[in-house]
Structure 1
């Protein structure tokens, strides 16, 4: 994990002069995904393929993220320009004082995707079954960060869980090999886990955090405070182009899956499409525009985290969220 972070940091520093493009040329920027580059990230490639980023003045390099904490570290260092962060994990990091030099400008998912996944042969079917089990996680990921709060609400003894750190690409492999009993995941990752389960004659078991924590946002687009103060129009243009790609991908998941496989080979088109289909009810919330962030809901997010002991003090939503970039309609 340290090696991957160091490589991205080094790449970000060495590319700093490359971002100063000639007048009339698109600006080269780096975008960090949440964790790995899977079908759920199809929307960023849709924005590239459809020319939304180009029209906004950007040439985007997509890099695989490695969890919210690491993404915030790279964002604050200037190694990347834009990064996907779990909004709840970002609230926790800010509340604990771990990271402060960032802000979130839009919500990619209106509901949190965090969950545990297991295979039916693991003996796990309820949260209580996690006790005594080995659970794979990625360092700095939202599921482990939120676990103590989730465990209190779900009646799980958190001290009876054994954590096994893995790289994002190894979580599902760990389930297949039996080296772990469950893995931290996003609910949209079910198609990939189902492929492994079917090979063993089993089924995928999903334990969503939203069953216990019903009012938490999922991922959002994060930027540094310096990016906001230095060139707010640049942030506005990028955010609008990304959200245009997200809207199109949610409305056309089959096409989004095809576009994903043009740029990435990590998942086949049917799996990438299935991930986008599963994300629709999490990214859309009634008549609210895609990307919308509501101050009252953020306040409830904060209250839920405080009630669960995840953050020690009161946070003003505007300390973390910049509502100037949120779509109004």
Structure 2
């Protein structure tokens, strides 16, 4: 009897140990599965809503790239450059892609003192005005006398005076009304306005909503060729006190970015699974268009401070920012990816 009780106790102990081990390997228990402890929780804001251009964050999460970096990432829809900037500066989110030109405009107004860029998402600006055939807009000058919609915090809207000056548009003859990431495309498709602020890669999504009407795209890069697009931004506090966190997050996110542009159809499906309102096919089409904006001779994610200086000079010449802004104020070169 004593031997039987001893054997049973040993079997029970073994079972409990195996159960504990199984629990420690679970992907749902907040650990990294390697015995190194809990995953570090991080909040991330997309650039603008949940469109295909932002699918790479969901890909990085679903493919396990964040988990491999020891991170558990909560992804929330962003509300464009100015609003996302406020959230990062206030510590209400850790990372977000912001348009670099929008960041420079904010810096010129003294509003970007607490954030830094740590990687490039797009190597040239994707900002554009988008309309539909039949709305009387074919060239930039046609925008005069028209009504456009965008978020007040959008870089497209805030950069418009500079674009207008360089494209010979009388900005005083263009009316702007407010919109949100969720309503802009529907407002255009429904005829509420003649154009909207949008990234060039939004063309497939706009055309899908317009049900057969072709989109007309006026890219800002036609007159401002050196401007970067979105850059990954974090707070100066994280960059200074937690540089390893910034590097781990950046590497995982860029891995998701590279996978997404190489596999746009799969990335579109991943976005749709996580955000059912985001249709997979237009999301994939956005990523296909975005691929040309991501790669560069200095590698995915790299930032050339010389080009940033050129962007600053362009904005100064246009009168959009005062003298005094430097690339080093905006970009933490010690954290940017190196080839």
TM-score by length of 1: 0.91
SS in 2 for 1:221: strand
The corresponding residue for 2:75 is 62
SS in 2 for 1:322: coil
Match of 1:259 among 251, 267, 270: 270
Once residues 233 and 181 of structure 1 are traced to their aligned partners in structure 2, the CA distance between those partners, rounded to angstroms, is: 46
Check if 1:143 corresponds to 2:137. no
The corresponding residue for 2:114 is 101
The corresponding residue for 2:244 is 233
Q: Is the 8 A contact 1:115 1:208 kept in 2?
A: yes
Once residues 104 and 42 of structure 2 are traced to their aligned partners in structure 1, the CA distance between those partners, rounded to angstroms, is: 25
Once residues 270 and 209 of structure 2 are traced to their aligned partners in structure 1, the CA distance between those partners, rounded to angstroms, is: 24
The corresponding residue for 1:159 is 172
The corresponding residue for 2:317 is 307
- Post-superposition CA distance 1:74-126 (Å, at most 9, x none): 11111111111111100110111123110000000001010011111100011
The corresponding residue for 2:336 is 326
Once residues 63 and 320 of structure 1 are traced to their aligned partners in structure 2, the CA distance between those partners, rounded to angstroms, is: 24
SS in 1 for 2:149: strand
Q: Please list, as runs of the form range in 1=range in 2, the aligned pairs for 1:200-279 lying within 5 A after superposition.
A: 201-279=212-290
Match of 1:114 among 127, 134, 139: 127
Q: Is the 8 A contact 1:132 1:161 kept in 2?
A: yes
Which has more helix, going by share of residues? 1
Instruction: Name structure 2 gaps, 5 residues minimum.
Output: 1-29
The corresponding residue for 2:144 is 131
Q: Is the 8 A contact 1:38 1:266 kept in 2?
A: no
State the shift of 1:266 in Å: 2.5
Q: Is the 8 A contact 1:68 1:140 kept in 2?
A: yes
Q: Is the 8 A contact 2:131 2:137 kept in 1?
A: yes
The corresponding residue for 1:91 is 104
Once residues 148 and 136 of structure 2 are traced to their aligned partners in structure 1, the CA distance between those partners, rounded to angstroms, is: 13
State the shift of 1:23 in Å: 6.6
After the TM superposition, list the runs of 4 or more consecutive aligned residues in structure 1 that deviate by more than 4 angstroms: none
Q: Please list, as runs of the form range in 1=range in 2, the aligned pairs for 1:161-200 lying within 5 A after superposition.
A: 161-197=174-210, 199=211
Once residues 258 and 165 of structure 1 are traced to their aligned partners in structure 2, the CA distance between those partners, rounded to angstroms, is: 31
SS in 1 for 2:319: coil
- RMSD, matched Cα: 1.5
SS in 1 for 2:159: helix
TM-score by length of 2: 0.88
Q: Is the 8 A contact 2:57 2:256 kept in 1?
A: yes
